[in-house]
Amino acid sequence: MGKRAADKPGLTDAQQKRSKRYHTMVDRVRNPHSAFEISPGMKGFFVTCNRNREKKSATEIIDLLEEYAAKLYPGLEEEIENEADEDADDDTAKASGGSIEDEIAREVAGMKSRSKPKLFRYLSATIDCLVFIKCHRKIDPEKMVQFIFDDLTKTMQRKTRFTSRLIPAKITTTSKLDAIVKGSAEVAKDLLAEDAEPTTFALVVNIRYCDELKRDDVIRAVAGPLDVKHKVDLKNAKYTLVIEAFKSMCTIGLVENYNARKRLNLQTLFDEPVVKKPKSPEAEAETEDESSQNCSTEETKTKDIAEQDAAV
């Protein structure tokens, strides 16, 4: 029996169920991100972050994506806004009558035309350390992630604090094996084409809170068609198919030079250990001279101390 039902003794089973549904809906209204909002057909970005930092990670990632979207897709917001204005004008024209419903429709159309289009939207995965960012249909997540990592590797300017991995979700499907195989074939259709040149590939499969799905089954089913023409290379593959299954959903994306891009980990990109440069022969000679001088000084001090002890 639930906590709320236990506080109200004497309720029937039906009353307890209605009470539970009521409080569940109240919780969803008070905390809109407590509901699982991801559905098949979406595309965007699968993000991992520090525990209890999901909202902060979503905020900084959206800022990062908006910054690079302005570079990669200049004028896209204006284009989307113009399309929204045209749709609003059509809705207003359709609702040109004098009824109350038509007046409400005109008001809604006016609100749509005034609102700024959103290229990215945070959706809750209801799992600790996981965030999903939905993007506009005209944005290519794979192209954008690779563009971001290439630029950050060049500038080495840290722009995130709580985010770990930023993974493109070209396609979102259910976590059923047949749906994953179909979605993977769609994402890797260029590699499966008859005129595709032989290359190397790898799979990265992560499964969370999805007991019915087995990692080995996914690897065999997805790698089978690719293995006909291409060769597996786990260390330095040209293309890597990243499959992230969680609860009832699964995101799929294709990344070039996955390992060279630090496995799409923003923290690893900036936290790499500093490699010491080899010293020149002149510097090594100076170091040897200093060490020999220090040794001779120490020997002299030791000798002086021994003579003083002997005199005493």
Tens-digit pLDDT profile for residues 200-213: 999 999 999 999 99
Q: What is the mean pLDDT of residues 271-285?
A: 58
Looking at residues 1-24, what average pLDDT do you find?
A: 64
Is 48 a residue whose pLDDT tops 70?
A: yes
- Give per-residue pLDDT as tens, 82-135: 776 555 545 555 555 557 776 776 666 555 545 567 899 999 889 999 999 999
Q: Give the tokens for residue 162.
A: 């709580």
Mean residue pLDDT of the chain comes to: 82
- For position 98, what pLDDT does the model report? 59
- Between 34 and 225, name the one with better pLDDT: 225
Secondary structure, 3-state, the chain: CCHHHHCCCCCCHHHHHHHHHHHHHHHHHHCHHHCCCCCCCCCEEEEEECCCCHHHHHHHHHHHHHHHHHHHCCCHHHHHHHHHHHHHHHHHHHCCCCCHHHHHHHHHHHHHHHCCCCCEEEEECCCCCEEEEEECCCCCHHHHHHHHHHHHHHHCCCCCCCEEEEEEECEEEECCHHHHHHHHHHHCHHHHCCCCCCCEEEEEEEEECCCCCCHHHHHHHHHHHHCCCCEECCCCCCEEEEEEEECCEEEEEEEECCCCCHHHEHHHHHCCCCCCCCCCHHHHHHHHHHHHHHHHHHHHHHHHHHHHHHHC
**Residue 5: what pLDDT?**
45
If one compares 267 and 15, the residue with the highest pLDDT of the two is 267
The model carries a pTM of 0.71
